Each structure stands twice: as C-alpha cells, then as structure tokens.
Amino acid sequence: MRVSGKGASSDFGSTSGQGGNRGNAFRRRHRTGERLSGRILRREAPGLAWVDFQGLELLATIQSDPDPGVTLLFQIICLEPDIRLQELRVARAAGDPLGPAVDAFWAARSQFESRCETLRTTLGGMPGSPAARKTAFCEALLQNAELASGFTALNAARKVVCAYTLARGTGRLEYRPWLLPEALSMEMLVRSSLDTGSATGLTETALSCNLPGAGQCELRFVQRPPRVSARLLVEHTEAAAAAMEILTRSGFPAPSVQLFDPAPLSPAFRAGVLAPLLACGPGARPRFSRQV
C-alpha cells in the first residue's frame, strides 16, 4: 500500500481544513518496521480510501478495498522517499468483542511508541540488566507527563484485551518495552498452567516484535522450574544473526535461559501473537501451541 496526496507523493492535503504536511507528520511519529492500525474513513475511488492513523488522516491505495469503519493492521515498509505500508491480512471472527479491544490496544501502542523514541534510545544504550532498564523507564514516566499519559492509556487498553484472553485460556497480555528497547510493536502472551487450575508449574510465553534489521520475530519460552528454555523465530532467516546480536546486547533472555538456535517464523504468526486469536472467536477451545 502506498500513501499519496497532492503534489509530491509524501505531501498530504487536509480534509479537516487544518492543512499541513501530513506525510512529514507521519514520518515524525513512526519508524520503519512499526505495525499500526488504521481505520477506513471513506472511499475516494475504487481501491483508494482515506485512512485514520490515530488522528492523522492519509489517502491510501488499498488492494482489499474495505468498507468504511473497518480497522486494518499495517506494517511500515519504508518512509523515504515515499511512505509505503504493507496491509497485514488478519482474519476476524464476526461479532467477537476481542477484535475492537485489540484494535484499541494496537492504536494506543502505536501512539505511545511514536512518543518515546528518545527514551527507547536511552534504554537501548543501557546493556545488561532489564531490571535496571525498567527502573529507568519508570523514572522517565515520572518526569514526562505526556509519556506517562500515553503509557496509562496503553495499559488500560492492554487490561481490556487481557480480560478476554485470560477468560478464554489463551494467556495474559503483557507489554514490557524495557526488555528489548530497540523492538517495535511488542506484544507478549504469558500462559501459566496455574491459571487453568493445573499444578504442573509450566509457563509458556510468546513475545512478538519487530527488530531493526531483522524484521518480525517471536521469542518463545517454556518454563518448568528450575529449567527455562527459549527459541527465537525470525521472519527473515538471513537476519537471524542480527536479531541474536540485539538479544545479546540487551541481556534478554537471561544467560541462565537455554536459548536454542533460531528457526523460521511461520507466516501464520507474522502479524504478532494477538492476530491469530482474532479468527478463533469466543467459542474456540483454549490453545497455546507455540512450542519451543
């Protein structure tokens, strides 16, 4: 999908009378590799529609030609010289309230990540303990009201999604940007056997994100005390070394975790860990099939 407007392809006109260069505003907010949701406002012509990206309206060519009101998930392919977005096809069960809840979470996450690039850079320069980065993250929120407000909104949206996923046995949604500060579009599902009434002590975690230079990745953990094992799955196998370097630099996973060799990430999981849940519906059997 390519966004366009009058004049140069990166120059967007205003439909609200406010004017301004929306292409540059979009570039200031977002980074290549980020995933964000956009709501279709109205059709301009077949295959051409105005899309609302968290308050920023852009004119875009969309192959699927969806109806107004539909929310789609996109990935930013590049920002220069043209803004190019890839529409990620996410199947949805009709009438499932999880869909709007996830859309709200994606929107809040996009807004927060667009505001905290400086903070992410600072945290990325703190190699080693994720615990130290979490402390620095919390201190930064105390000193920046805008960041604190954005994170509060993000956390509120996360809790709504989490209520659905816990009720369906698909895990607890977490968002912990201090684990991998360089990552974008992070989402994390944690499913403990204790949550389902079992006493086995088994915990499974799936963390999806986009890593710079490596593309979409997913870290899968299996914890059965005292042993914890993990595997990194990557969309682009040729970038596995770059992804592993980022993990090593961040100190995550911890050295005590047995980290297996990287493996390819299945196309079914390349839209993140939440997207596959949207097609299941509320009546689907609880399932957590991301094995290490």
Reported as a single tens digit per residue, the pLDDT across 77-101 is 888 888 888 888 788 888 899 999 9
Domains of the chain: 3-88 (2.40.50.140), 98-278 (no CATH)
In contact, 146 and 115? CB cutoff 8 Å: yes
Distance CA(251)–CA(119), nearest Å, equals: 18
Q: Quote the tokens at residue 176.
A: 């912990």
* pLDDT for res 86: 83
Kindly report which listed range (54-58, 120-124, 264-268, 271-275) carries the lowest average pLDDT score: 54-58
- Residue 19 has a pLDDT of 32
**Please, what sign has the CA dihedral across residues 186, 196, 97, 67?**
positive
* Strand, coil or helix: 154: helix
